[in-house]
Amino acid sequence: MSSLRAVRNDGVGALAERVLADLDAVVVRMGASYREEIPEYAALTDGELAREVLPVSRQLLTTFLSCLVESRQLTVRELEVFADSGRQRLIMGIPLESVLHAYRIAGREAWSAMVAAVPAGETALLADLGTRWMDIVDRTSSTLAQAYVAASHERLRHVDARRRELVEALLSAEDPAEVASVSLRFSTVLATTYVPVVVFGSTAGIDALLQDFPTGTLAGHRGDRVLLLVPQRLEQPRQRPGTLICWGGPVACGPTLLQEVRHVEQLLLTALAEGYTEAVLGPDDLLVEQLLLGNPRVAGALRRKVVALLQRKDPSGAVMGTLRVYLATGSVPETARREVVHANTVSYRLGRVRDITGLDPRVPRDSALLVLGLGLPEENP
């Protein structure tokens, strides 16, 4: 763009020529302002600023002047320059907020240069100039931000996939040799033992969850849950609102780690079946239920005797619902109040439980079996 006035020989062309004549100084002022106002830019070396940042600042102003003089819109190729800069700022580790702050500074410095280039008698140019400049800054910064966010999401997907791959590889390791192979494959120093922690219901991402645990904690998604492998003994994880957290004991890498992870996952399913939605449950919680989890034969028998029979004979779920409330309260009147039914209806439904399962909810030993049966998680298909 050596001779803009050849394209448009009027006040706008003359203005563009004057700004171009001072372009190097304008870009230098932009760079100085970046460093003065934004810590991340102040931390850049002179080479990084000159190589990665200032060329985009220069491109912003020259592209605007070209569109202004030629009375045209931005091209896709011109916008791609700014999309590339957004992806590059992510690689450089500069937060998006700071990148957009730099954009605002660039807009301010460039506008000051354009105002200074307008002769006293031609200030009417400023109205149209301001509208066009704001449009260019908005479109290019939006393109940059969209590219930055898209690249960030893509990076997170890759990070999450690699985290999940590492955790699954560690859980599938059969012996110390395979554990060592996982360590080499992922260039990760592995701990001797890990404590499995399963998190369910949290809206927080893995990075936020990891902040609550020691350095070296591994993490990955397992279905709709997050599995954390903590490289030391835990006292108790911190409670998070709306989150159910279950954890186990420290075990060595290999088959025992997978076994402990499955036990903790079963503990979480049991807690959900018991109505827990926000709690921290560890090895010393729900002890009777954990005993059942360790005895699949007994657990299966209870499922068949309680849950399966009730589901088959009580498809509406009314009897089972009343049973759950009664077992939680131990009171027919209170159950009737909560279920909004007559006390006689509660007694009738409890009788149906006895008839269907052979277990009377009003007999302590039978009620204990019913509590355990209803608290068991569903079997995996």
pLDDT score of 347 more than 60: yes
Q: Which of 4-18, 31-45, 283-297, 355-369 has the highest mean pLDDT?
A: 31-45
pLDDT for the residue numbered 2: 44
% of the chain surpassing 70 pLDDT: 93
CA distances, 50 to each of 73, 177, 299 (Å): 28, 49, 68
| β 193-200/218-222 pair status | unpaired
Q: Is the pLDDT of residue 8 over 50?
A: no
Percentage of the chain modeled with pLDDT above 90? 40
Mean pLDDT for 11-15 is 75
Burial call 262-280: b when 16+ CB within 10 Å, e when fewer:
ebbbbbbbbbbebebeeeb
State the pLDDT at residue 32: 95
Write down the pLDDT at residue 39: 94
Residue 212: what pLDDT? 85
Long-range contacts of residues 91-97, Cβ cutoff 8 Å, at least 24 apart: 92/48, 92/52, 93/40, 94/40, 94/41, 95/40, 96/145, 96/148, 96/149, 96/152
pLDDT(343) > 50: yes
Mean pLDDT of the chain: 86
Contact present, 234 and 195 (Cβ < 8 Å) = yes
- Residue 130 CA, distance from chain mean position: 40
Q: What is the pLDDT of residues 281-314, one digit of tens each?
A: 998 888 777 777 667 777 778 878 888 888 899 9
Do 162 and 218 contact (CB within 8 A), yes or no? no
How much is the pLDDT for 326?
A: 93
Give every CB contact of residue 47 below 8 A, 6+ residues apart in sequence.
Answer: none
The answer on pLDDT for 91 being more than 50 is yes
Give the pLDDT of residue 5: 43
What confidence category does residue 108 fall into, taking pLDDT thresholds of 50, 70 and 90?
A: very high
What average pLDDT does range 111-115 have in this prediction? 89
- CA 288 – CA 293 distance, rounded (Å): 9
Answer whether 0.75 is exceeded by the pTM: no
Angstrom distance (rounded) from CA 286 to CA 270? 9
The span from the CA of 313 to the CA of 319, in Å, is: 9
Kind and range of the H or E run holding 170: helix 125-172
pLDDT band at 89 (very low <50, low <70, confident <90, very high): very high
At residue 254, the pLDDT reads 86
Q: Are strands 244-247 and 193-200 parallel, antiparallel or unpaired?
A: antiparallel
- What is the separation of C-alpha 89 from the centre of its chain, rounded to a whole number of angstroms? 21
| Among 35-49, 116-130, 253-267, the least confident range | 116-130
DSSP 92-147: TT--HHHHHHHHHHHHHHHHHHHHHHS-GGGTTHHHHHHHHHHHHHHHHHHHHHHH
Q: Please report the pLDDT score of residue 369 as a whole number.
A: 84
Sequential DSSP letters for 327-373: HHH--HHHHHHHHTS-HHHHHHHHHHHHHHHS--TTSHHHHHHHHHH
pLDDT-derived band of residue 126, with 50, 70 and 90 as boundaries? confident
Per-residue confidence (pLDDT) for residue 1, from 0 to 100: 43
